[in-house]
Each structure stands twice: as structure tokens, then as C-alpha cells.
Amino acid sequence: MKLIILGAPGSGKGTSATVLREEYNLAHISTGDIFRANIKGNTPLGIEAKSYIDKGLLVPDSLTISMVEDRLSQDDCKAGYILDGFPRTIAQAEALDEMLAKQNTKIDAVLSIVVDDEEIKNRVAGRRVCEKCGASYNVVFKPTKVEGVCDLCGGVVYQREDDKPETVEARLKTYYKNTQPLIDFYNKKGIIVEGDNNKNPEVCIEQIKEGLKAKGLV
Ligand code: ADP
Ligand code: ZN
């Protein structure tokens, strides 16, 4: 099964993707995580990407698309995957269609995670992530057991530079301008499955599983 998970920054895409990848045994491809790993490793891609990410802007399509193409060609993607954070523009979605057509395959479903704007701003302000394993926490809704330490791996938990309030506004604007149009793009293909994440992740994931069942995918 090949899935895309779509939603505003802070909508809980990453959290839902982590649950679903276990449930359905999928490779989890988070472009944000790949960029952050490159930034940490000071690679040329990381240095270039950082200048955009820190401003709440999208990394240019050319860089992002070739990075994803490379990732999708790796062995662990053969059995199926969940794309988290890609595509984020119509150009990326079209490039993805082309990549997959070459391999005689296609995306089975696009999971659209829905959360109100006000709620998003609250959640992002409190978000903290583990430097080592990428696990996501929230100082209000889901604190770590020990302050600043990841429950899962003991890694250091920190606030992403782009989660500071000034940047969150810019990221939301970028989302509505560039990424929101993808909902319509995939709606036309009839492959959207919606999950409402205003209440809690369990409700959202249940809705998604039901939607996948209704489409005969699981
Ligand atoms: P979130 O979904 O919370 O905004 P991500 O971790 O998915 O965060 O992405 C962080 C940043 O990485 C984005 O704001 C953007 O600058 C960059 N990025 C991630 N994926 C893409 C993409 N597909 N195209 C362009 N930029 C991307
Ligand atoms: Zn961790």
C-alpha cells in the first residue's frame, strides 16, 4: 500500500504516520526528518535546505523531488510506504505521479488530517521533538516523563527552530498557498481519506482505518 499523509504544520501528520506505519508495516518517509538529518550532518543539501526551512518557506521543488526519488528507489519502499510531508506543491505531486507511472504503480490513498487553525497554533507552540529518534511531544498535551528527555530513547528533546511563533505564521501561509490545493488535486482522483484530529489522535486514526477499509485497501 502506498499512502500520502497531508495536513497543515502541526496537524499531527507525523504522529498519525508513526502509528499507521506500524499497523500496516510501511516505510515512513518524512521529508522534514530527512532535511533535519541533513542539517544536523551539515551536508550540502542540509545547508541549502536550512536557509528556507528557518524562514518557514518551502525547500525548492528540484531539490526536494530528487531527494524523494532517491529515497523511493531504496529497497525498504518496495513493500509500501507512507509519504509524510511530500508532496507539498502541485509540481511535486505531478513529479510523483510521473515517478510512479515509470514503476507502473500509483498512490492508493491520500490521508487528509484536519485540524482547526487556532488549535494548530496552540499545538505547534508547545511541540518538542527528540533529536535522536524524532518522537514528538507537547509540553501541555503530551509531556515527556522527565523534562527534556525522550521517553522512548533517552535522547534530548528540543523545540524546532521553525516552531517559534514568528515562523509558524509563515509556515501556515505557505501551507494554504502551496499545499492546500493538493486536496482538490487528489479529490479529483477520488483517493482522499479524511481524519479529524481536533479531538485526539485515536479518533483520527480510527477514522482513517475505517476509510481505508471502505476503499478495500486493508
Ligand atoms: P511540518 O509538517 O510540521 O511543517 P515538516 O517536518 O514536515 O514540518 O517540514 C519542515 C520544513 O521542511 C517545512 O516547513 C519545509 O520548509 C521543509 N519541507 C519538508 N517537506 C518539504 C517538501 N515536500 N517540499 C518543500 N519543503 C519541504
Ligand atoms: Zn527519542
Ligand 1 mutation target, pool 31, 99, 124, most atoms within 8 A of CB: 31
The answer to which of 2-11, 92-101, 141-150, 162-171 has the lowest mean pLDDT is: 162-171
Residue 13 known to be catalytic:
yes
Mean pLDDT of the chain: 95
Residue 87: name the closest of 61, 109, 115, 54 by CA.
61
Nearest CA to ligand 1 atom 4: 9
pTM of the model: 0.91
pLDDT digits (tens, 9 = 90+) for 6-50: 999 989 998 899 999 999 999 999 999 999 999 999 999 999 999
pLDDT digits (tens, 9 = 90+) for 150-187: 999 999 999 998 998 889 889 999 999 999 999 999 99
